[in-house]
Structure 1
Amino acid sequence: MATESRHVTEHIDRPARVVYAYAADPANLAHWAPGLGSSVRLEDGRWLVDVPGGGAAEVVFVPRNDFGVLDHEVLLPGGGIVHVPFRVLADGEHAEVVFTVRRAAGMTDEEFDRDAAAVAADLARLKRILEG
């Protein structure tokens, strides 16, 4: 059975290369994605974030690239892996960011809506930071 996905987007009035450079730096997560990254830290070459219930998850981005791909995996303390598709697309002199929210197994409609709303808030915060 296919996983349900929702694409959450935001247009940012900055060049795509600028948006990509900022969003590709895990150290910036705490500024624009506090739900994931309020506790971001680099330990032994690994980007870690504290998770509810204790423990730390590792965030692993794809290597930097010229295509605007910011896909990453969140390696959970219990061994689970969350795959996160994320793109920065050029839109003329500006950028569009596209973040794919996937419904986890057993997730209710309300939980899925809440996750998508949290991502939308994070992308709006990214826009404010980069346009400010």
Structure 2
Amino acid sequence: MGTESRHLSEHIDRPAQLVYEYAADPANLAHWAPGLGASVRLEAGRWLVDVPGGSAEVVFVPHNDLGVLDHEVHLPGGGIVHVPFRVLADGEQSEVVFTVRRMPGMTDAEFDRDAAAVAADLALLKEILETRPR
């Protein structure tokens, strides 16, 4: 059986390209994903964040025209967490879709907490982008 996943989404009243460009910049993580991004920093060409046990590297897929923002989090112990993340065009608006995967050994409460944190991050992304001047 595969890993349990939840697909969380948020509609944003901004064009997909604008949403993609903002979310694709790791420096913006501190603004819209404060749980992860508060510690984001660029060191020797690598984007790092603080996690339990040390620093993790966040590696995004190359810039693309498809709205794909998938990334990997390379954990201090050598594990890699794959994170699917997309920006989808919806007419003149967009939808962001983020897949939260249950990690091995994660309790229901921990999985719910992770999903709630991501939902809050996506709501903040929406708020930030919709309050910026067009």
Taking structure 2 as the reference length, what is the TM-score of the superposition?
0.96
Match of 2:124 in 1: 125
Q: Give the whole-Å Cα distance in 2 for the aligned partners of 1:75 and 1:89.
A: 26
Structure 1 unaligned segments of length 5 or more: list them. none
| Alignment correspondent of 1:21 | 21
Equivalent position SS for 1:122: helix
| Residue matched to 2:3 | 3
Displacement of 1:51: 1.2
Confirm or deny that 1:74 pairs with 2:73.
Answer: yes
Mapped to 2, the partners of 1:34 and 1:52 lie a distance apart of 16
CA distance in 1, matches of 2:90, 2:105: 36
CA distance in 1, matches of 2:117, 2:14: 22
Q: Report the RMSD for the aligned CA atoms in angstroms.
A: 0.7
Identity %: 85
- 43-52 vs 82-91, which moves further: 43-52
Cα offsets for 1:91-121 (capped at 9, x unmatched)? 0000000000000111111111111000000
1:37 aligns with 2:37: yes
3-state SS in 2 of match to 1:82: strand
What SS class does the counterpart of residue 3 from structure 1 fall into? coil
User: Which residue identity lines up with residue 21 of structure 2 in the other structure?
Assistant: A
Counting matched residue pairs gives: 131
* CA apart distance, 1:80: 0.8
**One-letter amino acid of the structure 1 residue matched with residue 42 of structure 2:** L
SS of equivalent residue, structure 1 residue 106: coil
- TM-score (ref. length: structure 1): 0.97
The alignment partner of 2:87 has SS state of strand
The secondary structure found in structure 2 opposite 1:27 is helix
Task: List structure 1 runs of 4+ shifted beyond 3 angstroms.
Answer: none
Task: Spell out, residue by residue over 1:33-77, the C-alpha distance to the aligned partner (whole angstroms, 9 max, x if none).
Answer: 011110111011000011134x11000000000000000000001
